[in-house]
Each structure stands twice: as structure tokens, then as C-alpha cells.
A and B are shown apart, each in its own frame.
Chain A
Amino acid sequence: MDKEISNVWFKPRVLVVDDEKRIRDGCFKMLSDEGFEVELAETGEIGLNKINDHHFDIILLDLMMPGLSGLEVLPSILDDHPDTVIIVITGYATIEHTIEAMKKGAFDFIPKPFSPDDLRLAIAKALEFIRTLQGIATEKSRMRVLINHLGDGVLATDNKEKIALANPAFIKMMGNKTEDVAENVIGESVENLVEDPKIREMIAEALRSTGRDFPVLSTEFHADDSENVYTATCVPFRDRLDRNLGAITVLHDITAMKKIDQLKSDFVSMVAHEIKSPMNSVLMQLKVVLDELAGPVSDKQKEILERASERIKALANLSSDLLDIAKIESGLIAQEKEMLNIAEILSNQTKFYKESSDDKGVVLNLELNGTLPTIVANKQNIVEVFANLISNAIRYTPKGGTVNVNASTKNEYLVVKVSDTGIGINEEDLQRIFDRFYRAKNEKTRNIAGTGLGLSIVKSILEAHNGMIKVDSTPDRGSVFSAYLPLPV
């Protein structure tokens, strides 16, 4: 018990209000010895004056005194000093007075006569209480300063979608110029501060979530009157029984990031474009020479020109892929969606690649399982996905191998599997094949041309359509790429 009295981080101020000198002196000695700052008052009036001059942490208050009684003094102390802890001293054991004092806000009582240990115990309890209160107050103050100085906007709402807290950054991001809005919106409905329906729906959804799932919802939105772009993230907070108490919404300004990203995409597409056009011209010029439109060409010259054409074609493909990446990053992907007949797209693609698989001596099969539903997607994107997967499979499958394209439905997805009997992918490459510019490099892949962008484009397109790509592979046995596209609801 002693440690609690002596180990406090402040020197507690105690006022003893009692008309009995013996009690005042006894308390003074004991509390001074413990290191407290003690003041004494022999009447309620003197006590009140001292309290007006100073704040006391603890007041020991006799209930029965001449003049103002303790019961009369108690409410006026608490009016001005709600965090002062009052311990009443009950001179004779009248339970009624004690109960009344407790009702009026006294923290504890000590019946007379009391021993120094009784007093020490009561004081220790009071100090523990003060310490807890101060801990909460410190925590609150720390949180307030922290939240108010965050660059991110923070909004806390209760489970009735009423605002519990909105920091200045949040208020500003909502388009308000004045900061005193922060005070005024507390307790108001969310719609008084948040106009964007997407954010309000997110808060409602977070509050609807049950204890079994813990959603982290996020969305991107533009503030109405500015160019700024924000991401909004919303999570519910819960009590120990997993009941939703409210939701926290955090806004993060991504305007600068978006601008840099756009600049980068523009730059890439500009460069790719400036490279692609002249390269296509060069290809055409080579073709004109190869076709002997500009005079006879020897076999050796032809061979060299053909190799040159292949190199230029590879570069032209790289610039096409770079343009695709730029398109994907600028969010242009998957914008115009239409009803697509996947069976038709797949048979067109397999027909298109039949020539190159025949040339290579690879068998290319298409299996369509049952009637496939139409899906809603961007045609050019989807064609690109399958063109990439099928041409990859052919490229990485040696002569005599087989490439199977199989389409079926599984749960809520249309699944297109492109499997080959090719060289397969090593464990360590498997982790990275969807990374941009990553290419598996070994003696088997050395002579296979590619930009390392195809699979990253496939992945981006499928994800932009809420689908996904999966891969299974065994080195030297072959690979299976599975493209998942959600069926229309």
C-alpha cells in the first residue's frame, strides 16, 4: 500500500476540513510524513475559500461542522472542481448522511474514530483513482493532439452514424474552410459533414458488418471543388462482445502520387509512340526491299534482312506492351465493357495461333465445356489476355508438344485454362513471373523472345475485371495458367 502513496509522479495536494483540531493535526502529521502538501480548514467557509484559491487533488471533509456543513459544501466543490476526490469523514455513524454524501459525489468515507492505517488506505484508494483518471486524461489529450495534427483526415462515428470526432484535416478535405466546424459537427449526423455518398455507404457497410468478419473498406474519390484525389478507408470498432460501437474513416491525400503516376504514364506512352511509328516504317521498308520492289536481293541479303525484321518486330512489340502498361496505369483499362461470347473469342484466338503452332510442330486444341455464359468485359482487353496466354504457351513448348485451351464455369467464375507440355517454370521464377519485365532466364529460355510484360498485363487486366490469374507448373513437364473472370450476377 505504501508504494502507491509514495510512488505518485506528482506531489498530491490535500485539504482537511474538520472542526476538530485533533483530527486536523493527526491528518496533517500523517499526510505530511507521506510527502503530501497539506492544508487545513476548521470550517466549511474557510475550506471553500482555500478551494477557490487552489486546486486540491483530495479533500477530507467532515460532514458535521458548525456553520456550513460538509453536505452543503460538497456540491459547490464538485461544481468547480469535478476531478477533485472527496472523502467524507463521518463523525457519528449515521448511515443516512453517508449515503447522501456519496449520492452527491463523494468518492469514499471514513467513519470516526479512524486509525492512521484507515486514513492511509482511503488515501491510497483515492490516489489510485486519480492516477486512473489522469491516465485517461493524458491518453485523451495525447490522442487529441495526435489526431488533430495528422495530415490524414480522421472521422469517428458512433453506431448510429453520428459524428464522434472529426479532425481538422478531415474537415478540410470535405471542402470546409473554417476549422470551428470541428466543434459544431460533434453529435451531428454524418451527412451534415460528408456529402460523398460513397463514403457514407462505406460507413454504413462497416457498421452492418458482424463480429465474424472485420472489413477494411476502401474507395477512391475526388473532392467536388478541387483536383484532389483521396483514398478513404473505413473500419468498424467493436466492444469485447464484438458489437459494433462505430466506425473510423481515414482519408489519405493521393493527389501528388496520382499526378506523378500520370506523368510517368504519359511519358512512357509518348516515348513508346515515338519509337513505335518509325519502327513500323522501317519494317515496311524492309518488306519492300525483301519483296524485291527496289531491285533484286541475294539470298544472303534476304536472310540478313529477315533477321533484322524479326529484331525490329520484337522492339515494336515491346513498345506496344509499354503502351498497354501506360494504358493500364492511367486507368483506361476495362472502361468500355460489353457482353462477350467467350467461346467465339477463344475459337478465333486458337484459329489465329494455329499457323504459328503448326509451324512449330505443336498441337493446339480447344475444349469448350457445355454452353458458356456470356461475360461482361472489355473485348480488346480480354482478347489480349488469351492472345498472351496462348502465344506464351506455344513459345515455351518444344516441338511435338501440346497446348490445350479449356473453358468451363466453376462457382461464380468462368475459368479458361491454358495448359502446355512445355519447359515449365522453376519454383523461384513462379513467384515473380507476373512482375513487370521479369523473365525466367536459363539455358532453355535463352532463345525465346519476349518483353517480360505480357503476364503482368494479363494479371492487371484480369484484376481490373475483378478476376484473377493462377498458375501451376512443373519444370520440364509443363504449365497451366488459369484465368478467372466473374460471371454476371
Chain B
Amino acid sequence: MSDNKLILVVDDDPDLVESVGMKLESEGYKVAKAYDGVEAEEKIKEEKPALIVLDVMMPRKNGYELCTQLKEASETEDIVVILLTAVADAVSSTSYTHMDGKNTPADDYIAKPIDLDDLMAIIKENLE
């Protein structure tokens, strides 16, 4: 039902990546995994995913940077990007402050904590 499309899941929390991966596989997708922005870049080059579930707060390269970079390059601009934001967590004067996902050129976003069923619905909608 999903034509075995490849989805890249990027988050620095391996448990989250595993859970999302298992859910995606159960829905018939192929899954690639990366644990920071730079690793994700390499995986994108190698595997050309159809969609990326991309966390915002990550070491080495954050999700905003990577997303903007992908959308600005002609060979990657068609990859659907879904940001995992923690909008509700913007707290001043700590390293956790960041912008709202809506301000970046992502295709869609979902706020943490993620409900796996909601995430699946968003992914399906964006792959149609």
C-alpha cells in the first residue's frame, strides 16, 4: 500500500528512532536511520529517501539547517521533510530555545510528544 517507499528517521534519541522505525515498517515502509544531522546528510546521498522525519534539536547539524539546505538544492528539494519540533518547549535563556517549525521550509511538522498514529497520518498525507 505504500509502494515500499524509503523513509529516513533522524533523531539523536535511538529509542525514538527505533519505535518510529518499527511503526513505519509495520505500515510497509522501508526505513533508514540516522542519529545526527551530518549522518543524515550522508544517508540522504546514499539512499535517496522519499521522506525524512527530522528532529530539530540535534548535535553536529540541527534539523532547521539540514532542512533549509535540502530545500535549496535541486537534487534534494523534492524530498518531503517532516520536522519533529518541541514548540511547547521554547524556554528562554537555556540552550533549548528555538523557533517554531512553521518558520522553516519544511513540508509539515509534528510537535513532540509524538503520537505514532498521528505521525503515520501526516506521513501518508504528505506522500500522496
Contacts and interface: CB of A to CB of B under 8 A. Distances in A.
A285 B92 contact: no
B93 to A, nearest CB: 6
Interface string A325-364: 0110011100000000000000000000000000000000
A228 to B, nearest CB: 17
Give the interface SS of chain B, mostly helix, strand, loop or mixed. Answer: helix
B108 to A, nearest CB: 19
14 contacts: A265-B91, A269-B96, A270-B94, A273-B94, A277-B13, A280-B112, A281-B15, A281-B16, A282-B15, A293-B26, A316-B113, A323-B89, A331-B92, A332-B90
B94 A288 contact: no
Interface in B4-30: 13, 15-16, 18-20, 22-23, 25-26
Interface of B: 13, 15-16, 18-20, 22-23, 25-26, 88-94, 96, 112-114, 116
Nearest to A279: B113
Interface size band for A: 20 to 34
A323 B19 contact: no
Contacts of B26: 291, 293
Nearest to A292: B26
Nearest to B57: A277
B23 A293 contact: yes
A408 interface: no
Given A277-B112, A316-B113, 20 more contacts: A266-B94, A269-B94, A269-B96, A270-B94, A273-B89, A273-B96, A277-B13, A281-B13, A284-B16, A284-B19, A284-B20, A285-B15, A287-B23, A288-B22, A291-B116, A293-B22, A323-B88, A327-B92, A331-B92, A332-B92
A294 interface: yes
A320 interface: yes
B19 A262 contact: no
Nearest to A331: B92
Interface of A: 262, 265-266, 269-270, 273, 276-278, 280-285, 287-288, 291, 293-294, 316, 320, 323, 326-327, 330-332, 380
A24 B20 CA distance: 113
A277 B93 CA distance: 19
Given A269-B96, A273-B96, A293-B26, A287 B19 contact: yes
A89 B123 CA distance: 110
A173 B91 CA distance: 30
Given A280-B112, A284-B116, A287-B116, A323 B91 contact: yes
B121 to A, nearest CB: 14
A326 B88 contact: no
A308 to B, nearest CB: 15
A232 B12 CA distance: 47
Contact of A284 (B15, B89, B93): B15
